Structure 1
């Protein structure tokens, strides 16, 4: 019979080798180029992240890339300029355009073989001071002229290089706003000037965008627009009206800004299906899942698990609807998330500020991996990716 210490030593060595094997597995997977969100996604689904070019991509030609840039290029097949194409940044004065941030996003995307979602052309927020001031006395004709010139200039500059544009963003109020769900003819300076027929202005915004870039898929985009509710009913009616009038509307986007303080609307897939039945593409355009944190700014294990479930539920709704063309997270790391600056919440993205992948990331990766065989290619004839 073996001596007990020998048995213990053999057991210890066996245990140590098991630990070594276990430790080497994640490292091997992390070192492999084959397991990223973009590599596992179905061919017909772009996986994107928002990025603020002015902050994080200027001077990208310098080698080597930052850790942030390396992950942005490796994990995502699509980019959305988080701020760089919004009015205040791209059109700061009546006759001045600043394309530096937007150009940086385009250059990075080209270098990393990524698509770009344009964002955004008609919105009530983040407008430059000159628009806010001038719009006080605008006629509808004035508003139309300013909007058309802006759209033709910005969209025209990147024509053929942007696969989807959020043309009209957040144009409906919420149920809890004064007046309830209705077009934002107070907060949106363009719709306010054209309050007598705001739908005509919205339709023309799509027409001008389509003329400037006939290839781009043109979206309506909003928050609180995931499931079937009063707001998405209003969008559904508007979409039917625009399509009946021959407007080149071709997409509906649900932003997907969720908070664990509220429930998740299980009708998201059904909502996507009804817009798809109108012939529109659909997309999750700005996904993040924020939460209230404890005094140390830490989430609970329960919150972390629920966050992963919510991210995954949004991706599932997209994967299950053939018309869903893109799933975009609104930034991928907590250090750059817009959330803490706006809400008393945090931990909203799929990686920590040190780029540690959260269970939410793992859930997305697994669903994308499982989804690949189930989705038929549905790139429309004549559409080609600009790589």
Structure 2
């Protein structure tokens, strides 16, 4: 799957004492969820961001900078979402089109727009086997490794303090049943290339949350999921600075939301990392699509360290797979049934009902 997409800066929701549960649900109650967040059972939130905030989570969106001049597009972005992910503007071919010569203008447009509105930014993505400039093809071995690490250092340092979380490495594992690493040019520099990238990112901005991001890792039984899990477990054991895992969550009729999706999220969270639905979209329409969105969001809400959700675009016409009408707003910017399902699910989240991460993983 080609994408054109952890963040852990939100505090993990704190479980409330049982004494609060006995309070009338109709009364307005101030809940100590990370930063003080006022939540009332009687007054539902009216936007995705405000509804997610009630359980201490964020709701974000992937943005294409050149569309910010579209008033319908920008209006939905500004109203509904708390976190912004540049869809393409921070990828390697965009930020370093020539070796050692960096270009941040398009990415700055997204970052500056978010900053003006008090929204946070997730950086996507520092290293990926796709979306590479042509000059990288001429490098290998130590020269490629040095260029790779310099790219991470320069980009993260440039946005230090302005990007709160990074997808440091994207899609480094192969599809299929092997659980092997993808045979990319970065992989051919040595098995330690991923951890080297995380160390470089941490040195460039110690405050930023650092994430690994991948697709087809939503089902815990899949070899790819198991392989990513083992890598994260190893990194945590050895002190490699990984803070979060992004499960892209691109769903279709042939790749539906797994029945045990919450268990997969909980397994990763048990390793001590935050988890995110980092590129959520669901092909389809009507009630079937709405139910799939509801199940995905509910899975996140069931796990305390699932701290946020990003949908991969605003309107169906903005999507990288527009023919599948996979987003929450139709091409005219009208809310779909899927939007209502997500908003209702977020409004129904009770902080005291959040399930803590499991202590162990049963397989892998």
Q: TM-score, normalised by structure 1?
A: 0.77
Which residue is equivalent to 1:384? Answer: none
Tell me by how many angstroms 1:33 deviates. Answer: 12
Q: How does 1:178-189 map to 2 (within 5 A)?
A: 180-184=178-182, 186=183, 188-189=184-185
Give the secondary structure class of the aligned counterpart of 1:282: strand
Which residue among 101, 105, 113 is the counterpart of 1:108? Answer: 113
CA deviations over 1:23-47 (Å, ceiling 9, x no partner)? xxxxxxxxx9951111211342110
The offset of 1:316, in angstroms, is 1.0
Q: Secondary structure at the match of 1:215?
A: coil
In the alignment, which residue of structure 2 is the partner of 1:281? 274
Report deviation, 1:375: 6.8
Give 1:95 deviation, angstroms. Answer: 2.6
| Greater share of helix | 1
Q: Give 1:130 deviation, angstroms.
A: 1.3
Give the counterpart of 1:76 among 76, 81, 95. 81
Secondary structure of the residue aligned to 1:153 is helix
Give 5+ residue unaligned stretches, structure 2. Answer: 1-42, 357-364
SS at match of 1:41: helix
Q: Distance in 2 between matches of 1:162 and 1:318?
A: 23
Q: Which residue of 2 aligns with 1:349?
A: 327
Alpha-carbon separation, structure 1, partners of 2:290 and 2:311: 13
Question: Structure 1 pair 95/33, CA: closer, same or farther in 2 (3 Å)?
Answer: farther
- 1:180-329 paired onto structure 2 within 5 Å: 180-184=178-182, 186=183, 188-192=184-188, 194=189, 197-198=190-191, 200-228=192-220, 229-291=222-284, 303-329=285-311
Q: Alignment RMSD, CA only?
A: 2.0
Do 2:248 and 2:277's aligned partners in 1 also have CA atoms closer than 8 Å?
A: yes
Structure 1 position 358 matched with structure 2 position 336: yes
Task: Assess if the C-alpha contact under 8 Å between 2:250 and 2:282 holds in 1.
Answer: yes
CA distance in 2, matches of 1:36, 1:213: 32
Instruction: Tell me which moved more, 328-337 or 90-99.
Output: 90-99
Q: Which residue of 2 aligns with 1:165?
A: 166
Structure 1 runs not aligned, ≥5 long: 1-31, 292-302, 379-387
1:202 is paired with a residue of what secondary structure?
helix
Aligned equivalents of 2:219 and 2:253: distance in 1? 16
- Aligned pairs (5 A) from 1:45-124: 45-53=57-65, 55-57=66-68, 66-124=71-129
Provide closer, same or farther for how the CA distance between residues 357 and 235 of structure 1 changes in structure 2, counting only shifts above 3 A: same
User: Runs of 4+ in structure 1 displaced over 4 angstroms?
Assistant: none
Report 1 or 2 for greater relative contact order, CA contacts < 8 Å, sequence distance ≥ 6. 2
Q: Aligned pair 1:36/2:47, yes or no? A: yes
Deviations 1:129-148 (A, max 9, x none): 111x213xx11x21221011
Contact preservation (8 Å) 2:57, 2:308: yes
Q: Which residue pairs with 1:3 in the alignment?
A: none
Q: CA deviation at 1:338?
A: 0.6
Provide the C-alpha distance between the structure 1 equivalents of 2:181 and 2:348, rounded to a whole number of angstroms. 40
Greater radius of gyration (CA): 1
Taking the aligned partners of 2:352 and 2:320, their CA distance within structure 1 comes to 34
Q: Deviations over 1:155-211 (max 9, x none)?
A: 1111122222111110000116xxx32111x2x22112x1xx31x111110011111
TM-score, scaled relative to structure 2: 0.81
SS in 2 for 1:73: helix
**Quick one: structure 1 residues 316 and 68, their matched pair in 2 at CA, closer, same or farther if it must change by over 3 Å?**
same
Write the distance in 2 (CA, Å) between the matches of 1:374 and 1:287.
25
Aligned position for 1:338? 320
Alignment length, in residue pairs?
311
Q: Tell me: CA distance 1:110–1:375, structure 2 relative to 1, closer, same or farther (3 Å).
A: farther
